[in-house]
Amino acid sequence: MPEKTADTVRKTAVIDNPAPETTALVTEGPSAAKARSLWSDAWHDLRRNPLFLVSAVLILLLLTMAAVPGLFTSASPRHADLANHYLQHPNWGNFFAPDWLGYDGQGRSIYARIVYGARASILVGVGVTLLVAILGTTIGMLAGYFGGWLDSVLSRITDVFMGIPYLLGALVILTSFEVRSVWVVMLAMAFLGWTQIARVARGSVITIKQADYVVAAKALGASTSRILLKHILPNALAPIIVVATIALGGYIAAEATLSFLGVGLAEPTVSWGVDVSAGREQLRNAPYVLIIPSVMVSITVLSFLMFGDAVRNALDPKMR
């Protein structure tokens, strides 16, 4: 009997005080690992995506050029010298000099205009994207969350705007303004471009509002604004960011198209679209006047499209 008692005590001591090896295994188990969120998981994938890295470097360079053009050239984009620089051909060996990319039909440095033109073109693209994202997300969230007659009214308004050809509608709106500044072009383009994001936001909100944490927040008496801003919006941002990022490049191309048609930005604003419009008159004599700003528009649009594709692949689990 005493032997059994001692054995029982020994087993109890082992259970109460496990070996260090067992403790280490328990400590290092799955409970100690930190679960990654959607955003951290997406960032983990983006850092290893060459498409994202290349596009991010190009976008960073373009944003720096737009913010601080003086870092890239000291020449003035509006200084014209017809006597000495009329359609002077590029000097490819003199990198980053005013004559590196030649001069246009008014004797202005094409390189300086490329550097300073990035500000207007990118400002229009980013500004329109922000306005469209805010307006479209607001309309989509209201329609998806409340439903009923409000959803019907907002959905029919969205259908009406979707039926208007984007460039044709922007052309009609801009022709009614005598002075077409950057802000006028931004507002005209944003007035017609919010429909796609509104559709995406509405679909995401309809799915998210049925989640358990939203139902629990309603049961606890949370206000509608708190539910929309704290619970629904953060979880509906992923598809909205993807659509907005991909659309940004399209807005830059649309601004260049409108300026080329003569209804977008105009002189004295320095813009790639304005230079493309002016360069078509010299297409036979000096094609580089048209080609160089066109290539910059293409590179910028391609950079944002690649960036949007990389973000979409990272945020959409179905794409992985």
> 91-112: per-residue pLDDT in tens?
887 777 877 888 888 888 999 9
CA separation for the pair 312, 292 (Å, rounded): 30
Q: What is the DSSP string of 200-211?
A: HHHHHHHHHTTS
CA separation for the pair 266, 262 (Å, rounded): 7
As to burial, measured by CB atoms within 10 angstroms (0-12 exposed, 13-18 middle, 19+ buried), residue 270 is buried
In the chain, where the domains are located: 39-319
Range with top average pLDDT, 38-52, 77-91, 188-202: 188-202
CA separation for the pair 206, 191 (Å, rounded): 24
| Confidence check: pLDDT of 196 > 70 | yes
> 34-66: per-residue pLDDT in tens?
556 666 777 777 788 888 899 999 999 999 999
Give the residue from 240, 89, 258, 110 showing the smallest Cα distance to 174.
258
List phi, psi (to 5°) of 103. -130, 155
Q: What is the CATH number of domain 39-319?
A: 1.10.3720.10
> 258-279: per-residue pLDDT in tens?
988 888 888 888 889 888 888 8
* Helices marked H in the chain: 2-16, 20-27, 38-46, 50-67, 82-85, 110-146, 148-162, 166-174, 182-192, 195-208, 212-219, 224-226, 233-260, 272-279, 288-315
